[in-house]
Structure 1
């Protein structure tokens, strides 16, 4: 096994060797979500990628990982969201008249435009109103709405996405307000412009000593986030921390930083003193030195409610403790009532659980500056002794963004799809994880149709391979023995240092390639390519015409692939050490009652057996033996042996059903017509309906070979059956339409042929005289018919004569 190397944001460039502080153990703090809204695919990208690395460290390398994650349950976004929702609820209870509602809407409309879309206020057609909004919008921002940029150069990004969001809010409000002053509709359709307006008017009236204003929101969203992560098969943290449970510790932490001279109090707030920190020999902005003077990022890190706080000595100094203004939650502190700054929260919680040093710290790439850089600075200031630089984090892992049309997926930009919606419509937890596995965890990802196709193809390849291997093992009727033989062969070869050959050599090479990929900063795209390649080789071997199938080697590959997809988190039902076969083999273990699990298979067999006995088949010895099969005895033996996999428990009944059906297929060529019809009908019903409905597919093979038994999800089989039926119905419909068209054409043909050639030109008003055969001789004006025209008419006359002759022969017998 190669030594692990990781991309470490503290040391930009190629991956660096990973050496834990304590051998065999890893301490890890991950920045969790700010719980003020539903989680979206951008969160999924971050936390699923984090989970993949965590699982690799746990279940591939065998580390003892202590994984800590926080919930930010108080910050500016939460305060604004919760406070505005409470104010909206209060406004809904007020007895507004229709006129007052209209005035309220317009006041909010103008205030929102002034704050977010000031160009809408520029115009020579009077004040902004509902009528001139659309033309002003198109004139001022049409280029962005058409997919361009604000500057007219480059590709659209976050600024354009934010602008579109504001325009969308304004447009929605216009549509709601136009001709409608119903309070319920106004408060829903124009909510996005009303919320900031109410906040500007009434925020100071709220009694924020009642912290349920905020906790009712955060507790709800924390529960929703946890449900989303469970649905995505993300392992839960070993330790969860919440900011509101750490406020006293945060205040003490800040006090110590102040005492050390690295922070100062100003107007009731406390700021980190970057100049003092660097003067003591420390380095600030170690993760993103190029961003240290980025004012926009600094302001975003301080939060929208921190803009009015004053007293900073340096423009880049950041808040450790914020004086709470009216309308904000507060806690007591040496500097008066206030609340923690955003960055200090993680420093305190991580250090409380993991101590003064940790191996890993992770989060989305957008947190690198200023959040993580500020965390590093304040934590190193807290722990440093005698001015010596302290290492708080050894490795920083930053997950790449998920982008949509060039902009990061973001709640604030409202350009996101929630995890719930994605799982209910376009993804499964497995397919989403496979998409993320196809990209490096530290690279940005923009989901494209080609990426989805690539992921779907990979999943289908793995699924089909598992299904086929299981089928071959069922056919061999010795699954356990084959598995043991495969493992035994590998062990013998290894112990005696004998070189592997064929598929086993390919498997060992694949293992080496996967080990190298995972050691190279968890290169999961290469892992997926290697898995697909070894399956390709196994499939070629399975399909080879020589018939020399090394089933134990094929099974060994399948079991190794099972282990790898388990480690990567692609089987929500599996657990370490992933010794089964397939996505979910041996997964349902103790939770499954064998008698309940086997009922569907037993019912199909019993029904089939009854119908088969009713057929008038000459009682051959083979047929008699099959009718007296005892799958129940085999089932009892499996239960006694402790088997709890539903497929394995049902296999005796499925195998008995398949054998009975195979014998019917052997009999059918020599059966009498009526019996043949009955056998084929029963055989098709068993395969296409009874077994399909319980997730079993019988793959019929030629030359008297037994059918292969394949366990495939019933939903997939039913969907395939319905698609096949739809295609057949469409084909039958097209055939019928073609028949009708042919009959119509045939009818029209003979109807036309009924006319004798002598009469075909008599009704044509262009002509005035005809000869004895009915050919025109003079035009309507008395002139001779032109020779060129006459030649053409003669060809038509000859064709009609022939057709009329055929008509007479067919219908009159002459």
Structure 2
């Protein structure tokens, strides 16, 4: 195995050799979520990509990985959301008149505009819901039409944030106009209530905050389970570490790298660097970025004072009224954001760790500050301490040029995505098709590429299983040839076997090159392409052991990558594992659905009324007796004895028997009387479209050959069946509609033709006199009918004469 190289944010440039602190072991701390809202696809990008690397290290390279992740359960965002929700609940309990509620909404509306959309206030009249639209279009119309705030370039985070505020104002206008302030204007109402009453909240009752965080932690965990993300080995929570955090901060102060000011404690960057340490090692270019610094401190920290340096950051924050607090030597306060990870990671993993990971947006200031305070804590005698050996930063998931985030409200939740757009597998494939440290832009092309790759793998698994089912004995498995197909063989491999060896080498190279999953995905697609070519060009002499070995190797790789939520290590199966296999059912229980279908088919054949066709009855009776004498039971027992536990393999003896019996029905049907043929084909269709479809089995009918058994997810087959039924029903409906339309047209045609040409113009009030044939001669005013008009009327008269003649010929009579 080649040595592993990995992109390390501490060492910009290409991948560097990965050398763990302890051979064979990897210590890893991952920054977890701030649990205040539902998780979105941006979180999925981060944590699924992290999971992929963790799985590769564990199941491909064989490392013993200790994976630690935190939940940030005390943070400015959490404090604000929980407090505002409590204030809203209290506000709803007040005895307001309808007019007072409207005034509250309007006041909140103006306050929100002043804080977030100040250009709306530029005008002689006070902003209100009536002049809002005109003000909005005048101030921000160019951005709403796709322009940028600067007037050039593409839209980004700033424009996304602006549009979020406008959307909040739009919703508030609708709510105020509909007298639904509490129900629809919460985005503007919550910050307004917070500005009025935040200091009145009794935060000694911390359940205000923990109720929210425990709920959201559970939601996040459920989302990760749904995405087949492995759970952490150790989970830490900030609220469970506050005493340790305070002690940690005390030591940093004692060592001269932090100072107390007005009840808060700040990290002293100047002192840290004067001692010979380096600050902002991950993003040195961002160290003076004021916006990032303020974001790192949190929105509730703006009024904290006493900092010596502009970049100094809070290790401990003095709690203000309306904020949770813990006792410390500096007074009541709470941890700074960055300090939590330093303390929790070090408590579990010690003074050094191999890996630290998180989204790229955490590099500065969060991770840079983590590094500084941790190295300050652990360094001795002024010597720089290495706290983290490798920093892994996952690329953003972006939409319309802006990162997906809760604060911008431009996100789709994981739950919604899995319910409407993605499966856990398809989402993971999308991320695997891009490098873990590159950004991913949501696009139709990206989705299409992922769907094509998944369909390629699905079809290959299905076709391989079908080929193996066809040869009944699956010789390749029985004699161990599959196990012999490895790159350690002394003899040179040829054909598909050589292709498989090359694919294995390509995947090994890709995974050692900083977990290059796009290259892995290409290698899998390429070996499948070559296997398909081999199958199609060697129909009579397919190297089935090589095909099976290829499918089993792909099964192992996709299992390692986390693409099969039903599979478990060491991923030695063939194809996607079924839910029944994952449930580890005993063989008798696992095979029962297949056995039940076999018995139902036998009963269906026995129930056929074949008295009208003695020859067919005798032939089918003889075939049935022969089939029953060769019961699938003994073959099933031998599979169980061989240790087979996969439900599909265990069900094959029964499925082959059903398929053979159905093939016999189809062979006999053409020679039967029409009525007998109909009943036979009806049973044949039921077996294929219902009995087997509901099991996830598709019979591929082939002329002059036995049907091919294919395992396809039952949901797909049922959906296809329902779609076909809907199309058939639509055809019947359209045909009936067309018939009715024809009948109506025919009725209208003859109703019109019934009128004699002599009478067709006499009811027309435009004319006053007619000749003997019923042609108009004078207009209503007594003037002659114009010659040009007469010419047209004569053509109409001739057509009616012809149609009337056809009517008389068909129905008889004169009129």
TM-score normalized by the length of structure 1: 0.91
SS in 1 for 2:706: coil
Moved more, 511-520 or 793-802: 793-802
> Partner residue of 1:497?
491
CA shift at 1:607, angstroms?
A: 2.1
> Partner residue of 1:554?
547
**1:343-377 deviations in whole A, cap 9, x for unaligned?**
11111111121122211110000000100111111
SS in 2 for 1:241: strand
> Partner residue of 2:558?
565
> Partner residue of 2:681?
680
Moved more, 474-483 or 714-723: 474-483
**Cα distance in structure 2, aligned partners of 1:147 and 1:71:** 37
Given that residues 7 and 15 in structure 1 are in contact (C-alpha distance below 8 angstroms), is that contact kept between their aligned partners in structure 2? yes
> Partner residue of 1:101?
101
> Partner residue of 1:153?
152
Q: How does 1:734-753 map to 2 (within 5 A)?
A: 734-740=734-740
> Partner residue of 1:191?
186
2:157 is equivalent to residue 163 of structure 1: no
Given that residues 623 and 663 in structure 1 are in contact (C-alpha distance below 8 angstroms), is that contact kept between their aligned partners in structure 2? no
Instruction: Assess, with a 3 A threshold, how the Cα gap between structure 1 residues 757 and 340 changes in structure 2: closer, same or farther.
Output: closer
> Partner residue of 2:240?
245
SS in 2 for 1:700: strand
Q: How does 1:700-739 map to 2 (within 5 A)?
A: 700-703=701-704, 705-739=705-739
Given that residues 601 and 694 in structure 1 are in contact (C-alpha distance below 8 angstroms), is that contact kept between their aligned partners in structure 2? yes
Moved more, 743-752 or 733-742: 743-752
Counterpart selection for 2:290 from 288, 295, 299: 295
**Cα distance in structure 1, aligned partners of 2:348 and 2:762:** 107
**1:10-53 deviations in whole A, cap 9, x for unaligned?**
12222222222222111111101111111111111100000001
Given that residues 574 and 587 in structure 1 are in contact (C-alpha distance below 8 angstroms), is that contact kept between their aligned partners in structure 2? no
Given that residues 338 and 366 in structure 2 are in contact (C-alpha distance below 8 angstroms), is that contact kept between their aligned partners in structure 1? yes
**Cα distance in structure 2, aligned partners of 1:578 and 1:241:** 30
2:439 is equivalent to residue 440 of structure 1: no
Instruction: Assess, with a 3 A threshold, how the Cα gap between structure 1 residues 642 and 548 changes in structure 2: closer, same or farther.
Output: closer
CA shift at 1:741, angstroms?
A: 5.0
> Partner residue of 2:422?
427
Structure 2 gap ranges (5+): 611-615
Given that residues 102 and 181 in structure 2 are in contact (C-alpha distance below 8 angstroms), is that contact kept between their aligned partners in structure 1? no
**1:478-500 deviations in whole A, cap 9, x for unaligned?**
23644654424415x843232x1
> Partner residue of 2:177?
178
**Cα distance in structure 2, aligned partners of 1:272 and 1:326:** 24
Q: How does 1:226-265 map to 2 (within 5 A)?
A: 226-265=221-260
> Partner residue of 2:359?
364
CA shift at 1:737, angstroms?
A: 4.2
Moved more, 753-762 or 379-388: 753-762
Counterpart selection for 2:601 from 601, 608, 611: 608
SS in 1 for 2:725: helix
Given that residues 36 and 77 in structure 1 are in contact (C-alpha distance below 8 angstroms), is that contact kept between their aligned partners in structure 2? yes
Moved more, 481-490 or 263-272: 481-490
SS in 2 for 1:730: helix
CA shift at 1:669, angstroms?
A: 2.4
CA shift at 1:777, angstroms?
A: 12
**Cα distance in structure 1, aligned partners of 2:760 and 2:173:** 70
SS in 2 for 1:591: coil
Given that residues 149 and 159 in structure 2 are in contact (C-alpha distance below 8 angstroms), is that contact kept between their aligned partners in structure 1? yes
Moved more, 460-469 or 129-138: 129-138
CA shift at 1:810, angstroms?
A: 7.3
Q: How does 1:648-797 map to 2 (within 5 A)?
A: 648-703=649-704, 705-740=705-740
SS in 2 for 1:131: coil
Structure 1 gap ranges (5+): none
2:513 is equivalent to residue 520 of structure 1: yes
Instruction: Assess, with a 3 A threshold, how the Cα gap between structure 1 residues 199 and 750 changes in structure 2: closer, same or farther.
Output: closer
> Partner residue of 1:81?
81
Moved more, 732-741 or 416-425: 732-741
SS in 2 for 1:130: coil
Instruction: Assess, with a 3 A threshold, how the Cα gap between structure 1 residues 805 and 339 changes in structure 2: closer, same or farther.
Output: closer
CA shift at 1:298, angstroms?
A: 0.3
Aligned residues: 803
Q: How does 1:163-562 map to 2 (within 5 A)?
A: 163-178=162-177, 180=179, 185-479=180-474, 481-482=476-477, 484-491=479-486, 494-498=488-492, 500-544=493-537, 546-562=539-555
**Cα distance in structure 1, aligned partners of 2:417 and 2:244:** 39
2:20 is equivalent to residue 20 of structure 1: yes
CA shift at 1:781, angstroms?
A: 7.7
Instruction: Assess, with a 3 A threshold, how the Cα gap between structure 1 residues 708 and 373 changes in structure 2: closer, same or farther.
Output: same
**Cα distance in structure 2, aligned partners of 1:515 and 1:413:** 40
Given that residues 70 and 241 in structure 1 are in contact (C-alpha distance below 8 angstroms), is that contact kept between their aligned partners in structure 2? yes
**Cα distance in structure 2, aligned partners of 1:451 and 1:709:** 33
**Cα distance in structure 2, aligned partners of 1:810 and 1:504:** 77
Given that residues 109 and 170 in structure 1 are in contact (C-alpha distance below 8 angstroms), is that contact kept between their aligned partners in structure 2? yes
Given that residues 15 and 521 in structure 1 are in contact (C-alpha distance below 8 angstroms), is that contact kept between their aligned partners in structure 2? yes
Q: How does 1:47-86 map to 2 (within 5 A)?
A: 47-86=47-86
SS in 1 for 2:618: coil
SS in 1 for 2:385: coil
**Cα distance in structure 2, aligned partners of 1:698 and 1:19:** 52
Instruction: Assess, with a 3 A threshold, how the Cα gap between structure 1 residues 545 and 802 changes in structure 2: closer, same or farther.
Output: farther
**Cα distance in structure 2, aligned partners of 1:544 and 1:793:** 73
CA shift at 1:739, angstroms?
A: 4.5
**Cα distance in structure 1, aligned partners of 2:178 and 2:168:** 18
CA shift at 1:805, angstroms?
A: 8.5
TM-score normalized by the length of structure 2: 0.91
CA shift at 1:659, angstroms?
A: 1.2
Moved more, 108-117 or 224-233: 108-117
Instruction: Assess, with a 3 A threshold, how the Cα gap between structure 1 residues 300 and 766 changes in structure 2: closer, same or farther.
Output: same
Given that residues 28 and 66 in structure 2 are in contact (C-alpha distance below 8 angstroms), is that contact kept between their aligned partners in structure 1? yes
Moved more, 578-587 or 46-55: 578-587
**Cα distance in structure 2, aligned partners of 1:313 and 1:248:** 26
> Partner residue of 1:36?
36
Given that residues 507 and 523 in structure 2 are in contact (C-alpha distance below 8 angstroms), is that contact kept between their aligned partners in structure 1? yes
Instruction: Assess, with a 3 A threshold, how the Cα gap between structure 1 residues 737 and 65 changes in structure 2: closer, same or farther.
Output: same
**Cα distance in structure 2, aligned partners of 1:589 and 1:719:** 23
SS in 2 for 1:305: helix
**Cα distance in structure 1, aligned partners of 2:417 and 2:690:** 31
> Partner residue of 1:128?
127
> Partner residue of 2:613?
none
Given that residues 777 and 785 in structure 1 are in contact (C-alpha distance below 8 angstroms), is that contact kept between their aligned partners in structure 2? no
> Partner residue of 1:626?
627
CA shift at 1:743, angstroms?
A: 5.5
**Cα distance in structure 1, aligned partners of 2:356 and 2:706:** 56
Given that residues 354 and 390 in structure 2 are in contact (C-alpha distance below 8 angstroms), is that contact kept between their aligned partners in structure 1? yes
RMSD of the alignment, in Å? Answer: 3.1
Instruction: Assess, with a 3 A threshold, how the Cα gap between structure 1 residues 305 and 628 changes in structure 2: closer, same or farther.
Output: same
CA shift at 1:252, angstroms?
A: 2.0
Given that residues 768 and 782 in structure 1 are in contact (C-alpha distance below 8 angstroms), is that contact kept between their aligned partners in structure 2? no
**1:276-320 deviations in whole A, cap 9, x for unaligned?**
222222221111111111100000000011111111111111111
**Cα distance in structure 1, aligned partners of 2:271 and 2:8:** 27
> Partner residue of 1:138?
137
**Cα distance in structure 2, aligned partners of 1:557 and 1:739:** 55
SS in 2 for 1:540: helix
**1:388-428 deviations in whole A, cap 9, x for unaligned?**
22221111111111112121111111111111122122221
SS in 1 for 2:626: helix
Moved more, 142-151 or 240-249: 142-151
CA shift at 1:797, angstroms?
A: 9.8
CA shift at 1:793, angstroms?
A: 10
SS in 2 for 1:619: helix
